[in-house]
Amino acid sequence: MPLNLKLKLLFTDRIGIVADVAALIAENSLNIISMEVERKDNRAEVWLEAENSEHTPVREDVFRMLGKIPDLREISFVRTLPHEERENRFRVVLDNISDGVISVDRDGNITIINRIARKILNCENSEVIGKEIKSLNLSDPTILECLNGKRFTNVKKNLINRKGRFQFFATGRPINDSSGRIMGAVEIGKDMKEIKMLAQSVSQPDFVTFSEFIGESPSVSEAISFAQKIAVTDSVVSIRGESGTGKELFAGAIHSESGREGAFVPVNCAALPESLLESELFGYVGGAFTGAGKQGKSGLFETASNGTVFLDEIGEMPPGPQAKMLRVIQERKVRRIGGTKEIPVNARIITATNRNLEQLVKKKQFREDLYYRINVLPIHIPPLRERGEDIPILAEHFLFQLGTRLGKDAQFLTKTALNKLCRHNWPGNVRELKNVIERAAILCDAEQIGADHILFSFEVGKSMEGMKNRIHPVGSDSHSLRALLDVYEKQIVTEALEKSDSIRKAAKFLGISHTTLMNKLKKHSVTMQKKAGFSS
Ligand SMILES: Nc1ncnc2c1ncn2[C@@H]1O[C@H](COP(=O)(O)OP(=O)(O)O)[C@@H](O)[C@H]1O
Ligand SMILES: [Mg+2]
């Protein structure tokens, strides 16, 4: 097959270029397939695709032929024309969106069908483009109704083909040309499965991913990339790090990354007394102990079926539950308290502690065998003071989060505020930073948050002193709001009277009526200091 000719011609702009090019091409028995003209300043770019059905034109002949056109400055062969590039780009975009898109011309012939639509309709691009949509034998080709001007939005549809069953929400629109005539129609289908997944991800409040675990320091990046690698395995993960370094958040992100469909179930081993911890973790059968309900209760390992159990502060776990945990990990089974039935456990276990487990083992406060079982994939999250470079991005992250929550305009930290943050030692780690930022954002009404608004916990007490004086004005020993307001009121009316030379003026100044002010003066037994010329 002869090859088509694709050319770019650059002219000094003038009238009649296109006519000249077209005439020459025709004279030389070439057929124009497409021609585009773009004018820039005083230049005109002509892009041309032409064919000769018998032979591929010889380059030199073409140059000689077109070289005759007046005002031609440059001529070159190209691989793709601008419209082809636009189409390619458009196709890549269309093929990479998660909705199915199909469009037809005014005769109902398919003009566009993207990757998802091809998948749903089980066909190849080349085989259907240009064909009538009717040939696809769709049970309800509603898109054709759009050619009569109909529109529909999110109509539930079912489609069954060799590849399976698809459920989607379809939206259809006519496509109009600039004068409003219908020149085709488009239908967009949203996969129901995807919508369900999205709905789930936004309705789960503690659905966190690694993109929300902020930090770019090498130690944090390393921890994240290690965690991403091992997320899909079933092995026990042990997260170590000081309090407030983000261990729980990190565990949640591992759970998300693992793709497990079950829940993320956190348990704080330090917060519950031994017997309650056991019944929470493993559940109990009806009547297992005094107070146990009749029907019994499932344990958290059952709740976290196909999910993750996060054992926080595992270093504080008492010996009884430690022994039971060892069994759960070794045998992957639990027995409810008082029960005999073995229930298989498929929950992933992630543990966390800020304690030195090795020392606890030495002191016989933590079982050595359990220590080895949980220490399969250890991850260390370093304290904030060892990764100062993360402070600015964390601060910015919390400010942004808070702005969204409080509905405030975006706030920024000044350089001095940031310097103050960076000089701090952060014994409470990221949790402390989050609190400091929250306090600053609330105290500061301006867009710029300065160093004065950055208060560490040891400074909060001092700055509250001033507040206390305001809340407890001199002359009050009561805490009731009414009593405090009365003290204020007395101060305010007295001051207003001192500043004005008549009660009328004082009332006006305070924005109240003369009578109201008179009543208040009586109530607080404020008497007028006689001034020269004073009148009421
Ligand atoms: N790297 C981080 N990025 C964003 N938020 C974080 C990060 N680390 C900690 N936080 C936040 O700080 C607080 C304390 O984190 P948490 O996971 O409870 O710490 P830990 O379990 O280590 O005591 C939480 O509000 C958490 O969302
Ligand atoms: Mg914690």
CATH number of 456's domain: 1.10.8.60
Closest CA to 435 of 390, 399, 393, 381: 399
The verdict on residue 493 lying in a domain is yes
Q: Residue 141 domain-assigned? A: yes
111: which DSSP letter? E
What CA–CA distance (Å, rounded) separates 506 from 511?
A: 9
Contacts of 362 (CB under 8 A, 6+ apart): none
61 CA distance to ligand 2 middle (Å): 78
Q: What is the pLDDT of residue 312?
A: 96
Q: Is residue 167 part of a domain?
A: yes
Name the residue of 434, 437, 438 to mutate for ligand 1: max ligand atoms within 8 A of Cβ. Answer: 434
Nearest-CA residue for atom 15 of ligand 1: 246
Same domain, 255 and 363: yes
Beta strand 152-161 with 164-176 is antiparallel
Distance set, CA 32 to CA 51, 72, 75, 328 (Å): 7, 19, 17, 76
Looking up residue 189, the CATH number of its domain turns out to be: 3.30.450.20
Task: Dump pLDDT digits (tens) for 2-35.
Answer: 678 899 999 999 999 999 999 988 888 888 889 9
Same-domain check for residues 427 and 400: yes
* Ligand with minimal distance to 387 CA: 1
φ and ψ at residue 50, rounded to 5 degrees? -140, 160
Q: Are 224 and 360 members of one domain?
A: yes
Q: State the SS3 of 46-59.
A: EEEEEECCCCCCCH
Question: Which ligand ends up closest to the CA of 209?
Answer: 1
Looking at residue 19, which CATH number applies to its domain? 3.30.70.260
In a domain, 508, yes or no: yes
Q: Where a domain ends, among 349, 380, 411? A: 380
Which residues have CB under 6 Å of ligand 1? 213-215, 241, 243-249, 394, 397, 430-431, 434
492's tokens: 């305010």
In a domain, 201, yes or no: no
Measured in Å, residue 265 CA sits from the centre of ligand 2 at 13
Q: Which of these three, 421, 436, 470, is where a domain ends? A: 470
Gap from CA of 156 to ligand 1 centroid (Å): 41
Task: Verify that 192 and 331 share a domain, yes or no.
Answer: no
pLDDT score, position 292: 67
Is residue 102 included in any domain, yes or no?
yes
CA of residue 203 to ligand 2 center, whole Å: 23
Ligand 1 atom with the smallest distance to the CA of 381 is 22
Q: Which ligand 1 atom lies nearest to the CA of residue 214?
A: 3
> Measuring CA to CA, which residue among 368, 384, 480, 478 is closest to residue 423?
384
Dist. CA 352 → ligand 2 center (Å): 8
**Token representation of residue 24:** 């020459």
Q: Is the dihedral of CA 491, 492, 498, 504 positive or negative?
A: negative
Q: Where are the alpha helices (DSSP H) in 268-367?
A: 274-282, 300-303, 319-331, 357-362
Tell me the CA–centroid distance for residue 39 and ligand 1, in Å: 57
Spatial CA neighbour of 307 closest among 234, 408, 225, 240 = 234
Indicate if 240 and 161 belong to the same structural domain.
no
Domain co-membership, 372 together with 226: yes
Nearest-atom number in ligand 1 for the CA of 312 is 21
- Give the pLDDT of residue 461: 57
Q: Which ligand is nearest to the CA of 242?
A: 1
Ligand nearest to the CA of 383: 1
The reply to whether 339 and 421 lie within a common domain is: no
How far, in Å, from the CA of 429 to the mean position of ligand 1?
9
Nearest CA to ligand 1 atom 8: 246
Are 297 and 344 part of one and the same domain? yes
Mutate to test the pocket of ligand 1, among 206, 238, 249, 269 (most ligand atoms within 8 A of CB): 249
Residue 478, token pair as written in the block: 């009561």
**203: in domain:** no
Q: Which ligand is nearest to the CA of 398?
A: 1
For the segment 46-90, what is each residue's pLDDT rounded down to a tens digit?
999 988 777 777 778 888 888 889 999 999 999 999 998 998 898
| Residue 522, domain CATH | 1.10.10.60
Domain end point (choices 334, 364, 380): 380
Distance 247 CA to ligand 1 centre (A): 7
Which residue's alpha carbon is at the smallest distance from atom 12 of ligand 1?
431
- How many domains, the chain? 5
Reading the chain (536 residues) residue by residue, the pLDDT tens digits are 667 889 999 999 999 999 999 998 888 888 888 999 998 889 999 999 988 777 777 778 888 888 889 999 999 999 999 998 998 898 888 888 889 999 999 999 999 999 988 888 888 877 889 999 888 877 778 899 999 999 999 898 888 777 777 888 999 999 999 888 999 999 999 988 888 777 766 665 557 899 999 999 999 999 999 999 999 999 999 999 999 999 999 999 999 999 999 999 999 999 888 989 999 999 999 877 777 677 889 999 999 999 999 999 999 999 999 999 999 999 999 999 999 999 999 999 999 999 999 999 999 999 999 999 999 999 999 999 999 999 999 999 999 888 776 767 778 999 999 999 999 999 999 999 999 998 888 888 888 999 988 988 777 655 544 444 455 554 555 556 777 677 778 878 887 887 777 888 888 878 888 888 888 888 888 776 644 333 44
Residue 188: which of 93, 94, 92 has the closest Cα? Answer: 94
State the closest ligand 1 atom to the C-alpha of 241, by its place in the atom list counted from 1: 22
| Distance from Cα 63 to the centre of ligand 1, integer Å | 69
The reply to whether 396 and 372 lie within a common domain is no
Phi, psi of 131 (to 5 degrees): -85, 160
Can you give the pLDDT at residue 479? 59
Nearest to 100 by CA among 195, 193, 198, 191: 191
Question: Does residue 204 lie in a domain region?
Answer: no
Residue type, 324: K
**221 shares its domain with 334:** yes
**CATH assignment at residue 236:** 3.40.50.300
Q: What single DSSP character describes residue 80? A: S
Give yes or no: residues 327 and 247 share one domain. Answer: yes
Which residue's CA is the nearest one to ligand 1's atom 23? Answer: 244
Q: Which atom of ligand 1 is nearest to the CA of 239?
A: 22
Residues of the domain holding 528: 473-536
221 lies in the same domain as 343: yes
